[in-house]
């Protein structure tokens, strides 16, 4: 895999420098070994979030609940997880 950093302008900032550093770190990790998706762990986390609600650290994001729900359902779709009718209704 070839590392291609996010395009930048001629005005570096602390944020853009941190972004580049993060991209370089991730790129180096990808060169060592391709990460494996921990599918069961993701499905478990998403299922708990859907059925029991989000962990306390996310509860301050009350206004984002609909958006977070969208991403949970989208993640299930990407992971090929179907929901039973009762879960869909809920």
Put simply, whether the predicted model's pTM sits higher than 0.75 gets the answer no
Residue 5 counted as domain residue: no
For residue 31, tell me if it sits in a domain. no
Within a domain: 3: no
Q: What value does the mean pLDDT of the chain take?
A: 85
Tens digit of pLDDT for each residue in 5-45? 788 888 889 998 999 999 989 888 887 777 788 999 999 99
- Check pLDDT > 70 for residue 1: no
> In total, how many domains does the chain have?
1
The reply to whether 84 falls in a domain is yes
Q: Does residue 11 form part of some domain?
A: no
Give residue 50's pLDDT band: very low, low, confident or very high (50, 70, 90). Answer: confident
Q: Would 32 be classed as within a structural domain?
A: no
Range of the domain at 65: 39-89
Q: Round to whole Å and give the CA distance between 38 and 10.
A: 39
In a domain, 14, yes or no: no
Gap between the Cα atoms of 75 and 83, Å rounded: 12
């Amino acid at each position: 895999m070839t590392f291609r950093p996010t395009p930048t302008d001629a005005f570096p900032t602390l944020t853009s420098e941190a972004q580049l550093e993060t991209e370089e770190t991730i790129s180096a990790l990808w060169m060592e070994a391709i990460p494996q998706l921990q599918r069961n762990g993701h499905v478990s986390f998403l299922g708990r979030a859907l059925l029991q609600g989000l962990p306390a650290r996310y509860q301050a994001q009350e206004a984002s609940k609909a958006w977070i729900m969208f991403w949970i359902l989208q993640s299930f779709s990407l992971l090929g997880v179907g929901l039973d009718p009762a879960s869909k209704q809920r």
